[in-house]
Amino acid sequence: MKVLLINGSPRQKGCTFTGLSIIKDQLAQNGIDSEIYQVGNKPVAGCIACLGCRKTGKCVFNDDLVNTVAEAMKEADGIILGSAVHFASATGAATSFFDRLFYSIDKTALKLKFGACIVSCRRGGATATFDQLNKYFTICQMPVVSSSYWNQIHGYTPEDVYKDEEGVRTLKVLANNMAYLIKCKYAANIPLPDEPERVMTNFIR
C-alpha cells in the first residue's frame, strides 16, 4: 500500500514540503509507504496542447519528472498533491506539471484511487487553490479524501507551519483517513465498476 505525494512548490524544503512530510510520517504510523516527488525549482513547461500524449501515452517533454511521476502513479493507491499559494492559485510550476501529468496519463490507471491535496499559504487564497487542485481528481474518477478542515497550512517558513497547530492536525487527520480508505479498498477487494462507452460532445451545432 503506497501513497505518492507531489510537492508543487519550487521551494524544495519549504512549507509545502513540511506539510507533505507531516503526512508522510502519519501515513507511516498507519503502515502505509509513501514517497515525495518534487516539481523542481527550474521553469516547468506548460501543456502545449500538441496531443502527442494521445499517441504515446507520455508527455512530449522529457526534461522534468512528469513522465516519471506518471509511471509511479500507476503503482500508487493514493495521490496527494501539494502546492504553495501564488496569487491565490497553485504555483505556475504546479499548474504546468499537474496539467501535463493528468492530461497525458492513462486515466484507467487512476480510476477509484484516492486523491487529496494540501495547500500552503502565508495568509490568503488557500481555498481557491484547494478547489483548483481537487479538480484534477474529480475529472479522473478519483474519490477525494477529506479531513476535519480544508487542507491548508499557514506560514512563510517551515517553522511557521509547525506553529499552525490546527493545520498540522488537519494534515494528520487527512493521512489517517486516506490510510483507512486504502485499507478498506484492499479489504473489500471488489472489482472496479464498468462504465458506458466514451463520448465527447463539444457543445457545437
Ligand X SMILES: Cc1cc2nc3c(=O)[nH]c(=O)nc-3n(C[C@H](O)[C@H](O)[C@H](O)COP(=O)(O)O)c2cc1C
Burial class of residue 189, CB neighbours in 10 A (0-12, 13-18, 19+): exposed
Q: Is 26 in the site for ligand X (CB under 6 A)?
A: no
Q: Are 98 and 136 in contact (CB under 8 A)?
A: yes
Residue number, 34 or 104, with CB nearest to ligand X: 34
Least distance to ligand X from the beta carbon of 154, Å?
Answer: 7
Compute the least distance from the CB of residue 126 to ligand X, in Å.
Answer: 7
Q: How far is the CB of 185 from ligand X (least distance, A)?
A: 30
Asked if residue 170 lies in contact with residue 137, where contact means CB atoms within 8 angstroms, the answer is no
Measure the CA–CA gap between 159 and 155, rounded to whole angstroms: 8
CA–centroid distance for 58 within its chain: 18
Interacting positions 75-94 with ligand X (CB under 6 A): 84-88
Q: Does 113 bind ligand X (CB under 6 A)?
A: no
Nearest-CB residue for ligand X: 14
Cell numbers 519528472 correspond to 65
CA distances from 186 to 2, 73, 113, 179, 181 (A): 12, 17, 11, 11, 9
Output 34 or 91, the one with its CB closest to ligand X. Answer: 91
Question: Does residue 14 touch ligand X according to CB under 6 A?
Answer: yes
The binder of ligand X chosen from 3, 4, 5, 15 (CB under 6 A): 15
**25/159 with CB nearer ligand X:** 159
Instruction: Using DSSP, state whether 64 is helix, strand or coil.
Output: coil
Q: Pick the closer one to ligand X by CB: 79 or 85.
A: 85
Residue whose grid cell is 500538441 = 50
* 106 touches 72 (CB < 8 A): no
Q: List binders of ligand X among 116-135 (CB under 6 A).
A: 120-125
CB of residue 112 vs ligand X: minimum separation in angstroms?
A: 29
What residue ranges bind ligand X (CB under 6 A)? 9, 11, 14-16, 84-88, 120-125, 155-156
